[in-house]
Structure 1
């Protein structure tokens, strides 16, 4: 084992340099270049070097966009012997925004593990070993790769930046928030008044009807390819067919970079295919906004995938599809975004507190609907693949 990785949820990474210096103060020389540190032992015998790379969502957004969903999927597929522990681990992963990656020249020894554990304890978060074992901030095993529970009494940790999001305040936002809370009360769904308002209509950067329509068609097509991959279909035939569909509808430019890579890679990843397939729920919000779906039902059952396909497949061209669209008002879309935001908080809170999701809600449905709605309102101007899921 030559790698040890620390994942954490932090408001910023300003203090990490000091923590690294403290842990390696005796017996080491430290050379720093931006957020990379070369640690050189001063021992007469058994000298060694370490490389420590520090990344955050701010400094390396692509890393988190590409790796955190995969990490979530990896542990979601592990057969945990304790389902509650699995939910706690997934909760922790969902709020990670900092990584300290340690690379050793040779096999890591016990002395080095103790140093890395000291760094883990000072930073907080979880330790990740290459074979999949997770450690808590004291270096105690949370879970083994086969799903067996470790002795750790693990509880997730999240920084205020991930928990509270960016604070905004307006009369419009307060009215929308209060309307959603009144609805949640009627449904007996937990809520917190401290969850921030969403931005006002004026502040939001709403996507145009054409952008939403083209994104919807492109997304549906790549979802169909992902479904073929997940079901073990002929990848080459499927790829050729769906690339041709993208060109027929003239929506190739509306794929995300991740989707384009997935579509063109020679051996598409099965877990990524499953993750993209779940985006039927995000697509559902797009065709709702375009007037094809009467209302967004309560998020306890998956959408009607057959109907979702027919909305586009009944049209031979994008222009034919576009002529059938009627964009909902910005207020309607923002109201639904606020509702899904507070649904999501209730689901995350229930995972931490241990009971099942309130009112039978499905958090996977909620997360994908949130992706679609937050993208449409232009929340924080985030890209489709990097919509933050903080609550």
Structure 2
């Protein structure tokens, strides 16, 4: 083994994407075990060079946080407790850095080890350096490797500078401890029976549909941790999406859409990306924006204007929404729709759906990383619906343009 990287950030897919961009011709084989995921990377040799192979094994905490609770039985959490004790026992010639290092260990959520299995992989040091920087990682390094800075086992910072060795040596003057805002001041909580039910129900649906299941995926947030968007917020977003969608399908011009939104006092709710689209709706932008049909479909479902969301193996049809229920159109004031009395769906219903699409999206990403065709569901439909659901539950507190679909 060359080294093990530890990070506050999580994301095996991000690691795989970095591997693929660094070695576009390599054969990357992904496997998933009970608590870990592995990328096996094989690079063929040339006429005058031999081939090589390296692996990256990844695991993350079941409940990412910014501290290490004593009650968490996750195997990685247990390992982090041991890591904290080991570092705490080491001598140090820079107590300030050691204190920061111990604080950083408390925030760690993921671990991925890198091993050279065969030959010598070109640019592997550069890959490690990029992963360390991208993940703001600390590294536990073996001696006599391509990145070693000491004769014994030792730790490096994100810049591959010596952070601490067994003799207490340290070559850095500072160490940042960054905490994702979604974890800050969030006290570790026990998983609720409702969260367990959402996960179990989702996995049952996936199993029935022959969709790959990752048992290692954590639970989504508990109901008491989530504040849904209000019906008025949802309705306003539907109206704006409906107008940009009409432009995407060339049903109206961008000027007409902008004038409509301005005339009905909705322009202030149009996002920067949407204003950019309406200012210059190229064919490429139209193609991307047309996918927002699926977002409209989800949001209309959230307001109980659609009875059945349907499984994401086919595209939705907005034509199935009764004309009287659709919020925009000639001589229609969208504010009538926005100010309606909605019988919106419950938080439990929305979170159950969010759990399902979270797991469906993981399966789609996994298939894409492995170069496999996803036939059980439509990946584009899954992504757009997951996007809308994450916005509905205020995932990460993100505005519409900034929603992420982490898996």
> Secondary structure of the residue that 2:256 maps to in structure 1?
helix
SS in 2 for 1:243: helix
Alignment of structure 1 residues 26-37 onto 2, 5 Å: none
Contact 2:195-2:222 within 8 A present in 1 as well = yes
8 Å contact kept, 1:301–1:362: yes
Per-residue displacement from partner, 1:38-96 (whole Å, max 9, x unpaired)? xxxxxxxxxxxxxxxxxxx9xxxxxxxxxxxxxxxxx9xxxxxx9x99xxxxxx9xxxx
Correspondence for 1:123 among 126, 129, 145: 129
- The residue correspondences of 1:73-152 to structure 2 (distance < 5 A) are 120-124=126-130
Structure 1 residue 168, shift from structure 2 partner: 7.3
- Name 1:239's counterpart in structure 2: 254
Residue 370 of structure 1 and its aligned partner are, at CA, apart by 0.7
1:339 pairs with 2:356: yes
2-side partners of 1:119 and 1:258: how far apart? 38
1:150-176 CA-partner distances (Å, limit 9, x unpaired): xxxxxxxxxxxxxxx989752132221
Structure 1's unaligned 5+ residue stretches are 1-8, 14-56, 58-74, 76-81, 86-91, 93-115, 126-164
TM-score, with normalisation over the residues of structure 2? 0.52
Q: Check if 1:217 corresponds to 2:239.
A: yes
Match of 1:259 in 2: 274
Question: Which residue number corresponds to residue 328 of structure 1?
Answer: 345
Query: Which residue among 260, 265, 274 is the counterpart of 2:287?
Result: 274
Contact 2:247 2:253 in 1 (8 A): yes
* Two-structure CA RMSD over aligned residues (Å): 3.8
Corresponding position of 2:300 = 287
Count of residues paired in the alignment = 243
Q: Does 1:203 align with 2:219?
A: no
Q: Which has the larger radius of gyration?
A: 2
Give the 3 Å change call, closer, same or farther, for CA 222–119 of structure 1 in structure 2: farther
Aligned to 2:285, what secondary structure does the other structure show? helix
Relative to structure 1, the CA distance from residue 176 to residue 348 in structure 2 (aligned partners, 3 Å threshold; closer, same or farther) is same
TM-score computed with the length of structure 1 as normaliser: 0.54
State how far apart, in whole Å, the 2-side matches of 1:244 and 1:309 are.
25
The 3 A distance-change label for structure 1 pair 263 and 308 is: farther
Shift of 1:348: 1.7
Does the aligned pair in 2 maintain the 1:282–1:372 contact within 8 Å? yes
Cα drift, residue 206 of structure 1: 0.9
Q: Distance in 1 between matches of 2:219 and 2:236?
A: 29
Give yes or no for contact 1:168–1:197 (8 Å, CA) kept in 2: no
Instruction: Say if 1:330 and 1:343 are closer, same or farther in 2 by CA, change over 3 A.
Output: same
* Residue in structure 2 matched with residue 357 of structure 1 by the alignment: 374
2:312 touches 2:381 (CA, 8 Å); kept in 1? yes
Separation in 2, partners of 1:225, 1:368? 18
Name the structure with the higher helix share: 1
Q: CA deviation at 1:301?
A: 1.2
CA 1:274–1:190: 2 relative to 1, 3 Å:
same
